[in-house]
Homo-oligomer: A and B are copies of this chain.
Amino acid sequence: MPKNSSLPRIAVDAMGGDFGPGVIIKGAVEAAQTKKVSLLLVGREEELRKELAKYKVDHLPIEIVNATQVVEMVDKPSEILRKKKDASIHVACRLVKEGKADGVVSAGNSGATLACGMFVLGRIKGVERPALATILPTEGNPVVFLDVGGNVDCKPFHLVQFGLMAEVLAKDLLCVPNPKIGLLSIGEEEGKGNAQAKEAYKLFKLSSMNFMGNAEGRDVFAGKFDVIVCDGFVGNAVLKVSEGVGKAISNILKAEIKKSFLFKLGCLLALPAFKRLARRLDYAEYGGAHLLGLNGIAIVCHGASNSRAIRIAVEKAGAFVTSKANEHLVEGLKANKELALFTKRALPEGRQ
């Protein structure tokens, strides 16, 4: 156990991520140095011990928990559950389930995190599918955007349930009293979209949410909504494309600037403005995606997370524990009682 047990105890999947344990441990250690979290680093003990030896951590509440198996990107979630019970993400979730940790952070295979989260921690009562929610920067206030890859092939009622969960999160984290909820579709008018979106639109209208109708792709970063809901396939594509656009713009601009000394000088003068822009758009700042709807706190980081992204995610997980974000979610969902209305069982056939 971490030595200082009054701090939030975060189990970190040290084997997850594209760059191996080194990056994860660096970020996690930096989070621990803030003295706001204690750590359980989960993974192959020897490897982790070697990485950890690079830092002065004797005084920090950090413990290593051995997990012999590693999840690969090609592993299917069902196989991980059956055959990789000693995988780092599996062990990390068990630590939360057993009350030895308060939350888990992973930059590994997000399907594996979802599967282990669902089967080890279990779902909040009434939630049919947990959803991966991210908080995105916009021109205005941030927006809770979900699902970003937790669930593909959603039923319309799943989207409504995602909305109900995100509504609580937006009230709690973004301090918006009556969040404006949008449904991602391809046209503002009711009746625009695919079969899933059209039926979800009708269900959203039946709900108690402050449903503002369809949000178009161009609204995501415009700050017009507090919550935007979509299927995980679409959400993941949208999220990754928006990262890609940012990167392409930056690369093209850099190439253009190199073409003249005056351009270089100009950009040097305006550098602080660029830096603030980059910071505002940096996903790392927002600390990964929250796996909403589990009995426990789970944060999923980008596979390509650097140590800074990991540090922020671990700190955020700690802040979630302290602020009782998940308890509020449970209470909020209990209070509105609507989850039960938007399930396969409750809805007549053809409205699911």
Contacts and interface: CB of A to CB of B under 8 A. Distances in A.
A244 B263 contact: no
Query: Chain A interface mostly helix, strand, loop or mixed?
Result: helix
A215 to B, nearest CB: 10
A57 interface: no
Interface string A62-91: 000000000001101000000000000000
A244 B220 contact: yes
A242 B185 CA distance: 15
Q: How many of chain A's residues touch chain B, expressed as a range? A: 35 or more
A281 B245 CA distance: 10
A346 interface: no
A347 interface: no
Interface string A227-267: 00011111011111111111111011100110110111111
A221 interface: yes
B221 A189 contact: no
Contacts of A208: none
Interface stretch (A27-35, A98-106, A270-278, A327-335): A270-278
Contact of A186 (B191, B236, B247, B252): B236
Contacts of A237: 184-186, 216-217, 230, 234, 237-238
Interface stretch (A39-47, A116-124, A193-201, A291-299): A193-201
Contacts of A233: 185-186, 193-194, 197, 234
Nearest to A268: B266
A153 interface: yes
A240 to B, nearest CB: 3
Most chain B CB atoms below 10 A, which of A222, A232, A239, A244: A244
Contact of A241 (B195, B220, B277): B220
Contacts of A253: 273-274, 277
Nearest to A281: B249
A241 B256 contact: no
Contact of A246 (B74, B138, B152, B249): B249
21 contacts: A74-B189, A217-B242, A217-B243, A218-B243, A220-B241, A221-B247, A222-B244, A233-B234, A234-B234, A238-B241, A242-B245, A245-B246, A249-B249, A257-B273, A262-B270, A266-B266, A266-B267, A266-B270, A266-B273, A267-B270, A270-B270
List 4 tightest A-B contacts by C-beta distance, closest first: A217-B240, A266-B269, A266-B270, A152-B194
Given A249-B281, A270-B270, 9 more contacts: A149-B186, A152-B194, A216-B240, A217-B240, A218-B247, A221-B245, A221-B248, A234-B234, A241-B242
